[in-house]
Amino acid sequence: MARQEFGAGVGDFVVRPSDGLWGVGAAVEVTFWDAAVDGTQYTDLLNTISEPISSVTSDEYGSLPRFYGPDGVTGMWASAGGPLRAYIDAHSVTTSGGGGGAVESVNGMTGPVTLTAEDVGAVPATAAGTPGGVATLDDDGLVPAEQLPATAAVVSSVNGQTGAVVLDAAAVGAQPTGTAVLLTGAQTVAGVKTFSSIPVGPASNPTAADQLSRKAYVDAAAYAGEWSPADHGLTAWAFDPALAVSTGLFPGSGGIRVTAVRLRAATTINRIVWFATGYAGGLQTGSWAALYNSSGARVAMTGDLSTATYEPAEQHDAGGGTISSPLTAAYSAAAGVYYVAWRMVYTTGTGPMMLAAESSAGGPPNVFGYTAVRRFGVYSSSSATTPPTSLVLASMENGSNRFWAALA
């Protein structure tokens, strides 16, 4: 179905009586109906530019303008507001086939129709021979070379080889299968492997005799059933203090006392620690403590032990207690042997009574096994009022007392 064209015909005028004569009716609104009397008004009308209208108005000559009626309607009853209606026919009715009728619509459009290439399913002329468009043909009926896609380059060689090329891992700079350690999956690795840094293992403990162990597991196994420095909040100690004699010993006023300790792993040292069975305070200027490495070089020290910042706290508890002095700066220590050295100056009988190993012999043994490490010693003639930058370990005396010391 389609809309039919009405109005602007030779008989499409509005007339009205005037002084006994018929004259044209200018500027009269005309409505359209489906019956001569009563009926339903047609309001689905279009003007010539396809705008919806419900009625038309005659011009100054009484002529009805051209318009389009409702879809499929070929005749209507026109009313100019009087008692009578006049029948108006569409200008033409399209017939099927033959092309004998007037055009009703073009591709579903009415009114002044302008078609584009897209409306008729065609490619715009501007798309010919352009990217994203269509190719054209030259005089020979072929697509011009400039409109053809680039041809992929042909392989002329592989890694410098031609002919029937066979590549192996070496030819492409890769490791042959079975010669590299995989990141995942089971694999047997042969030969001795040297690591530039310590490998980090899983958090779980070994369960078979041939499995590698973590440090934490080894540490726990080494002290199985025993007490370790860490169990007491310490980093290292000379020996288990529970094995010391119960009666404390004075370190002596003047001279330098030395006790060796061993660090099993790198750690940070903040304090030098002793145990006093009793101490009422009163260390004098010239008192100090320091830490030396296995070569005798000083690596850390406290301040003056006679000052409030560095003097160990008094100890009056039954059985005594731990006393300590902070270092002037924390020290990052590598694993190894270190010497805790200290000099305390005090009035006779007022110094700290310190925990010590059994020391009843005048010169107890302080070097054990086949190493030259002296675990306890003294520089009895030293009067250094500040920590020396180094100790001559070969000059250390055996000493008569083996004092307990620790690091924290």
Which helix (H) or strand (E) is 77 found in, with range? strand 75-79
Range of the domain at 334: 231-407
Per residue of the chain (408 residues), give pLDDT as tens: 689 999 988 888 888 776 667 778 899 999 999 999 999 999 999 999 999 999 999 999 889 999 999 999 999 999 998 888 999 999 874 433 334 445 666 766 776 777 776 766 677 878 777 887 777 888 887 878 777 777 666 788 888 889 898 888 888 888 888 778 888 888 888 888 898 988 888 888 888 877 788 877 777 666 667 899 999 999 999 999 999 998 999 999 999 999 999 999 999 999 999 999 999 999 999 999 999 999 999 999 999 999 999 999 999 999 999 999 999 999 999 999 999 999 999 998 889 999 999 988 877 889 999 988 999 999 999 999 999 999 999 999 998 899 999 999
User: What DSSP line would sit under 222-281, residue for residue?
Assistant: HTTTS--GGGGT-SEESS-GGGS-SS-B---SSSEEEEEEEESS-EEEEEEEEEEEEB--
* Residue 367 placed within a domain: yes
Q: What is the pLDDT of residue 100?
A: 45
Q: What angle do CA 138, 139, 144 make, to 5 degrees?
A: 20
What are the b/e assignments for 305-331, b being 16+ CB within 10 Å?
bbeeebbbeebeeeebebbbbebeeeb
Q: Determine whether 228 is exposed, middle or buried from the number of CB atoms within 10 Å of its CB (0-12, 13-18, 19+).
A: middle
Q: Which of 89, 90, 77, 73 is nearest to 39 (CA)?
A: 77
Whether 273 and 324 have beta carbons less than 8 Å apart is answered as yes
* Residue 292 placed within a domain: yes
User: Which of 89, 117, 146 lies at the terminal end of a domain, its last residue?
Assistant: 89
* Residue 77 placed within a domain: yes
- Cα(first)–Cα(last) distance of the chain, in Å? 102
* Residue 357 placed within a domain: yes
| CA–CA distance, 61 with 71 (Å, rounded to integer) | 29
Sheet with 336-343: strands ordered across? 298-301, 288-292, 336-343, 256-263, 376-379
* Residue 33 placed within a domain: yes
| CA–CA distance, 68 with 90 (Å, rounded to integer) | 9
* Residue 243 placed within a domain: yes
The structural domain count of the chain equals 2
Q: What angle do CA 343, 346, 347 make, to 5 degrees?
A: 150
Q: DSSP letter at 11?
A: T
* Residue 55 placed within a domain: yes
Whether 321 and 248 have beta carbons less than 8 Å apart is answered as no
Q: What is the pLDDT of residue 286?
A: 96
User: Which of 89, 104, 137 lies at the terminal end of a domain, its last residue?
Assistant: 89
| CA–CA distance, 368 with 365 (Å, rounded to integer) | 8
| CA–CA distance, 278 with 320 (Å, rounded to integer) | 6
User: Which of 89, 117, 144 lies at the terminal end of a domain, its last residue?
Assistant: 89
* Residue 71 placed within a domain: yes
